[in-house]
């Protein structure tokens, strides 16, 4: 948890459309009137807070910009679902007043890192707040993947792909693929296959210190590894992706009503 009582430098990131830009400029003017220095991307590393106007995709982009620096992020939902950006436009000013007064808590969210190995080079690490996914992409057949955890074989599978998610990402792509909902206060690695050939393959929740290794045993052009749906790296047969918890988390400010958000956004347990 991060608690700040002296908010002087705030970065603003907004979804790139005219309406959201206008709202961002109005918030920036309001903050400057209160003596706050406002920054736009690219951000310096000395910020006290980042405000994101947009949906979950915008928040993930902003998190990627500032990681690994421990800057709290406040998401204001200008998107559709807005599970991470849980503060509504109508609540924004009220929440910002409380934040400027130091009346907020920034929750630590687990981040994972992926490193790609092939015969010639090592790429990464690349960070993900939600998930790292390996997908068949444009390849028209199932791909074959082998999975290890701490050097021990977990499984081999034929599927459209596989997802390794954080608890924060358990309500995103992983959930759509049939994975469990895991409370974001926990640290865990969630492995979920995407449309597996054998229905016996179910999600697996691992302890957070585990190192997961996924090797592309069989696939073709178009197979890729994707970080939070934003960074795409092609994979070839024999390439290996190593995934583990990062020692550098992300900090999110929210209203603390997690189960309310589940019911409202996902119609869960109505």
* Catalytic center residues: 56
Is residue 62 within 8 A of residue 50, CB to CB? The reply is yes
Q: Read off the tokens for 40.
A: 């736009």
Helical spans, DSSP H, in the chain: 18-33, 56-66, 92-100, 173-176, 258-266
C-beta pairs of 85-94 under 8 Å, 24+ apart in sequence: 85/52, 85/54, 85/55, 85/56, 85/58, 85/59, 86/254, 86/255, 86/257, 86/261, 87/254, 87/255, 89/23, 91/255, 92/27, 93/30
Q: Read off the tokens for 57.
A: 């995709």
Is residue 150 within 8 A of residue 168, CB to CB? The reply is no
Closest CA to 10 of 57, 54, 62, 55: 62
For tokens 């469990």, name the residue. Answer: 180
Is residue 123 within 8 A of residue 223, CB to CB? The reply is no
Q: Read off the tokens for 133.
A: 């996914």
């Amino acid at each position: 948890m991060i608690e700040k009582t002296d908010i002087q430098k705030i970065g603003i990131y907004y979804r790139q459309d005219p309406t959201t830009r206008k709202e961002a400029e109005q918030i920036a003017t309001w903050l400057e009137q209160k003596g706050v220095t406002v920054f736009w991307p690219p951000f310096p590393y000395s910020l006290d807070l980042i405000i994101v106007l947009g949906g979950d995709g915008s928040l993930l982009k902003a998190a990627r910009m500032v990681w690994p620096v421990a800057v709290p992020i406040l998401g204001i939902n200008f998107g559709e679902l807005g599970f991470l950006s849980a503060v509504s436009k109508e609540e924004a000013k009220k929440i910002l007043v409380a934040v400027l007064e130091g009346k907020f808590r920034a929750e630590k969210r687990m981040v994972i890192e992926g490193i790609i190995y092939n015969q010639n080079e090592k790429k990464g690490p690349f960070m993900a707040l939600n998930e790292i996914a390996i997908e068949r992409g444009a390849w028209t057949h199932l791909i074959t993947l082998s999975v290890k955890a701490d050097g021990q074989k977990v499984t081999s599978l034929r599927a459209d792909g596989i997802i390794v998610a954080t608890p924060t990402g358990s309500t995103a792509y992983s959930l759509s693929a049939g994975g469990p909902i895991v409370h974001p206060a926990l640290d865990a690695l969630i492995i979920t296959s995407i449309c597996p050939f054998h229905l016996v393959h179910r999600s697996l929740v691992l302890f957070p210190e585990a190192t997961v290794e996924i090797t592309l045993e069989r696939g073709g052009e178009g197979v890729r590894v994707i970080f939070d749906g934003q960074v795409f790296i092609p994979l070839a047969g024999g390439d290996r992706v190593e995934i583990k918890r990062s020692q550098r988390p992300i900090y999110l400010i929210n209203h603390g009503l997690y189960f309310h958000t589940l019911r409202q956004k996902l119609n869960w347990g109505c």
